[in-house]
A and B are shown apart, each in its own frame.
Chain A
Amino acid sequence: MTILLLALRRLAASLPTLLVILAGLFLLLQLAPGDTVDALMAQMGGGDPATAEELRRYYGLDLPAAAQLARYLWRLVQLDLGQSAIYGKPVATVIAERLPVTLLLMGASLTLAFAGGTLLGILAARRIGQWPDTLISTLGLMFYATPSFWFGLMGIVLFAIRLGWLPAGGFEEVGAGYMGLTRMLDIARHLVLPTLTLALVFLATYLRIMRASMLEVMSLDYVRTARAKGLGETGVIVRHALRNALLPMVTLVGLQAGTMLGGSVVVESVFALPGLGRLAYESVVQRDLNTLLGIVFVSALLVITVNFVVDLVYGRLDPRIAAGR
């Protein structure tokens, strides 16, 4: 019950932020030259003014900007995200089609990056200054410094074109009609490369944070106490040091959940995945205001949720934080 209350309080506190973001974005897009109809005309390869006029009226672009914003916010209050100009369907449907792909990709790479980063970070911290540390740190730096699209393309060249082990792109085999487990395996095969690509950059960050955090915690008094009790090295790390060392990692996950939504535009494009990132990019290029605002709205909700979960996890990891609430 308290959790529910807390959740509601959090949501209420983020409402003004959400409003500012949506209104700001709306105004920002008004400043961009050109509108949906210009973009549509570009895509059609041109047309006569009568068609453009007709389309502007249809999309409500003939109204002044203030009226458009008011209309949008009023619809939003009624939980209606409006109609997508470029897809000709409700924005909610368009987003719902894309959300699973993004969540799957994001969840998988975040998990991989988090697990891998934690493990490698601990390993590096334990062997500080020795070759495993040097190797891991160098690799981490390389992952961090390399643009993810390059990783993706090289992955395609090696694993899809040269070796032929994995598909070059797409979310699943089109028109193969797989069902159940076969379909799951097929999707998993398609997601191996994009997940790795997306995860590597984040893994580098995690492993560096984990290494630093671990080193710091390992020098604290209570760790010395634990060692003095006669606990083995593994026992000290898993039972005592890890919990505290994880706190900065959890903070980072909360922060990066948001970036990952946007950061996947590149990976989604390279691997031809139908995710939210690409949808957002396309709606900017196409000046599809409703869709873009809808995505921002959903992303904001997602970030709020993730951060809420992060707060709960804090409490689990370190009871002192929960007590101060």
Chain B
Amino acid sequence: MIIDRREALKRAGLLALGTAAWTPAALTRAVLAQGAAQAPRRGGVLTVQLNGEQRVLNPAIRASTGVYVITSKIVEPLVDLDQDGKPAGVLATSWEAAPDGKTVTFRLRQGVTWHDGKPFTSADVQYTAMELWKKYLNYGTQLQLYLEAVDTPDPHTAVFRYSRPMPLNLLLRALCDLGYVAPRHVFEGTNVLENPANTAPIGTGPFKFVSYERGQHVIAERNPSYWREGFPYLDRIVWRFIIDKAAASAALETGQVQLSTYNALALADLDRLKSDPRFTVSSKGLEANAFNNTLEFNTRRKELADVRVRRAIAHAIDVPFFIENFIYGLGKPATGPIPSSSTAFYPNNPAPYAFDPKKAAALLDEAGFKRGAGGTRFSLKLVPIMNGEDVPLLATFIQQSLQAVGIKVDIVNLDTAGALSTVYRDWNFDLATGWHQYRGDPAVSTTVWYRSGSPKGAPWTNQYGWQSDLVDRLTDEAASELDPEKRKALYAQWVKAVNDEIPVWMMTERTFLSATSKRVHGDHNTPRWGSGDWHDAWIEA
């Protein structure tokens, strides 16, 4: 207990105060005093580096961290995650689900206006849900597949009616990403994909869109009539597109930009900046977006159709070695498709396949693939999908690891568009490796990797020629199970089933990283901060 308190004091930087401060009340006062010394400053410009240009700036039709990092400051969702990772109302103030799970009622915030002065009402929610989320939004079309109608009994109530039970915790978690509301009066009666507001967004958020220079920058400025009174602190946010990673870290070091998030810098630079006192490099504030390095098996290949071969391959690769030596220790071995940060669903199981080349060789022998001439059992074609700089590294690591157990691997290098169509549309691969991104709830974008019946060509879905009745059944049951505890139990069974069969092996579990100048404050204070609204972020003069 005493050690804890000393630890807390040290963290607050108050050890010098001595024993007089050793009461909880005094401690609180002292911490508050220190907080006051760091009183938020109004004004200033925050400049953010981005390494890719999304071009469409409408989060109601494009779900991607690259879109949110800009637009979530301008356009607001119904709900977002709070400090503890629980859904908290933004444009919605409260919600309730009917016992049968088929209707969810949202009470909406009153007195909110769009940046063009029109009031925000339930008609906007109704229109966005039915016309944008259900028709155009990637992952939204799937989530809202059974959404039949949104009723608007009054201007501040929106009632979502589903034809199948919709678990409230699934909907709320999904809506953090897939619940941004667009203004009905701007979009109604136009061609949605061609609407100019897709690149000049109009929202209700703390910042108003100013300009978007293609290939250069996006600028937004303070919204003086924001509904959270006294916010935001910043005058402006500037997002600069700096694609070259060396140039990006140069911009950070010269102070041209103060923040780089979602791994927009080279891992080597992030590792280097960690020890630079001017910056904080951390995954705090980005926990909601976990991702895995994957190894995907085309089970149409007769060797890979045998689960023993897939398990052997998993046993042959030393994942901790890869993490330590290739990606600067920025990750841990995954235990399945649900990351440990997703506490509502994480089954807390051990990593299923430990590094064991002897066992790998034994499994391959047992499956009937003995070493032939030159020690080779068979050869496989590996297609890396370039989600990040670590993917080609992992591809060569897989190649070398499998060489050791007698499997020859040929790497086929393609750019992203080429790799996606080769793997998911043409099925012209034996192994593929890329990233799986987890989005708050397994039903949003994770179970599709394993559920059968995905149409040919859909990227990041089960295109592996693999099917399991058990997995299909568990997927469907969990997606409409209303009781959170039962859902969690179903997903635990599901994780066990897919880990056993591994059509896709989740190798690593990682979170994104931000590099932030220490001049920036009020930052990374929610698990989804990179995609948050930044109303309470401020910058030292």
Contact = CB atoms under 8 A, between A and B. Distances in A.
Nearest to B62: A44
Chain A CB within 10 Å, residue with most, of B141, B238, B240, B246: B246
A128 interface: no
B527 to A, nearest CB: 18
B138 A51 contact: yes
Interface stretch (B48-56, B310-318, B364-372): B48-56
Contacts of A42: 387, 416-417, 420, 459
A144 interface: no
Contacts of A50: 141-142
Contacts of B193: 55, 58, 88
A164 B459 CA distance: 45
Nearest to B215: A274
Contact of B254 (A38, A52, A153, A164): A164
B457 to A, nearest CB: 7
Interface string B179-223: 000000000000001100011000000000000011111010000
Interface in A272-291: 272, 274-275, 278-279, 282, 285-287
B311 to A, nearest CB: 27
B236 interface: yes
Contact of B250 (A32, A48, A86, A169): A169
Nearest to B252: A168
B253 A49 contact: no
A97 to B, nearest CB: 6
A108 interface: no
A272 B242 CA distance: 5
Interface in A159-177: 160-161, 164, 167-171, 174-175
A272 B417 contact: no
Given A48-B458, A49-B457, A88-B198, A161 B421 contact: no
A43 B236 CA distance: 26
B243 A272 contact: yes
Interface string B68-81: 00000000000000
Interface residues of B, number: 65
Contacts of A272: 240-244, 247, 251
A98 interface: yes
Contact of A43 (B64, B213, B421): B64
Interface string A247-287: 00000000000000000000001111011001100100111
A157 interface: yes
Contacts of A44: 62-64, 66-67, 138
Contact of A156 (B47, B55, B247): B247
A88 B55 contact: yes
Chain A CB within 10 Å, residue with most, of B62, B415, B457: B415
Contacts of B67: 44
Given A87-B55, A175-B236, A94 B214 contact: yes
B133 to A, nearest CB: 11
A35 B417 contact: yes
Contacts of B253: 161, 168
B72 to A, nearest CB: 15
A58 B56 CA distance: 15
A64 interface: no
A319 interface: no
A52 B417 contact: no
Contacts of A175: 45, 217, 219, 236, 238
A34 B417 contact: yes
A107 interface: no
B214 A274 contact: yes
A10 to B, nearest CB: 32
Contacts of B254: 160-161, 164, 167-168
A274 B66 CA distance: 19
B178 to A, nearest CB: 11
A60 interface: no
B39 interface: no
A41 B55 contact: no
A323 B170 CA distance: 81
Contacts of B94: none
B455 interface: yes
A285 B251 contact: no
A54 B136 contact: yes
Contacts of B426: 33
B416 to A, nearest CB: 4
- Which 5 A-B residue pairs are closest in the complex by CB-CB distance? A47-B138, A34-B417, A274-B215, A34-B421, A39-B417
11 contacts: A34-B419, A45-B138, A47-B141, A48-B139, A88-B193, A157-B250, A168-B247, A168-B250, A170-B256, A175-B219, A272-B243
Given A38-B418, A285-B415, A285-B417, 10 more contacts: A34-B420, A38-B420, A42-B459, A44-B64, A47-B138, A50-B141, A54-B135, A171-B216, A174-B217, A175-B45
